[in-house]
Amino acid sequence: MAEHIFGKDLSRTFYPLENNEPINLPSQVPSIYLFSTQPALDDALNGTGAIATHTVSYWAESATTPYPRTYTIPAIQDPDQSSSKRCIGYWEAVNYIAQTAGQTQTKLRYFEIERAKVQSDQPGTTLADIKAVFPGITSYATDSQLGDALTVATAKVKLEFEGKGFVWGQMQDLYKLKYAIAYKTIEIACAAQVAKGNLSKQWMVEYAHKEYNTILDAVQLRQDVDNDGFPDVNAPTTNSVVVNER
């Protein structure tokens, strides 16, 4: 689920399903209401008790699977800036029809809005860093291909850390991951060559993967668990990912 923050318009997407498969709803003007607490279904249908300034009556329609319906809820201001609560829950009611002239259906969805996380740095891996680690990469991967691999590599690293119990938005000292992501990018680019039948690059896949893990075994990162701007003391979840003390 996408994260939403106070003070910024909320971009929301609605994916209608039938038998767990996407369906293309007829063109319509939906009624979408926002509530500060869970409403009864009749209130959700009629908008009774909704936050009036956040009612939505338009969504963008796509005829391409999975047929998303996208809309924007106006920015919600933090109702209690002095509170220590990290996030506050809201309910939206999406009222729509599944076929032309059909009965209105109501879908209630819960989501949370939080204060924006702030990081002091990012890994900042560039194409120049990747080429510095392995200059030969330019002989079989274009800048465009490397850029795509870098995007995938960064996403994989984020998922790996989050899979070990860390929250990417709370982590600090991410610049230490610059070359780890460079090696992961090389691994992905070389794996693509192997998939095309260029088996001579298999050794580079294995080498880059080893170097990537070597960096993760050594790197020390900090995490601001309570979002107070100061890194907290945490025990590492594995031997290869660590958090430093204050």
- For residues 45 and 163, what is the distance between their CA atoms, to the nearest angstrom? 38
Q: What is the pLDDT of residues 167-177, one digit of tens each?
A: 888 888 899 99
Is there a contact between 123 and 173 (Cβ–Cβ < 8 Å)? Answer: no
Q: How confident is the model at residue 19 (pLDDT cuts 50, 70, 90)?
A: very high
Q: List the one residue out of 138, 150, 140, 210 whose CA is nearest residue 178.
A: 150
The correct answer on CATH 2.60.40 for the domain covering 4-114 is yes
3-state secondary structure at position 185:
helix
Q: What is the pLDDT of residue 235?
A: 38
Q: What is the pLDDT of residues 128-162, one digit of tens each?
A: 999 999 999 998 899 999 999 999 999 999 999 88
Average pLDDT for 172-188: 94
Q: How far apart are the first and last CA of the chain?
A: 31
Query: Which residue ranges make up each domain of the chain?
Result: 4-114, 127-223
Q: What is the pLDDT of residue 166?
A: 85
- Average pLDDT in the chain: 89
Q: How confident is the model at residue 54 (pLDDT cuts 50, 70, 90)?
A: very high
| Long-range CB contacts for residues 216-222, cutoff 8 Å, separation at least 24 | 216/180, 216/240, 216/241, 219/176, 219/177, 219/180, 220/173, 220/176, 220/244, 221/166, 221/171, 221/172, 221/173, 221/174, 221/176, 221/177, 222/171, 222/172, 222/173
Q: How many CB atoms lie within 10 A of CB 90?
A: 21
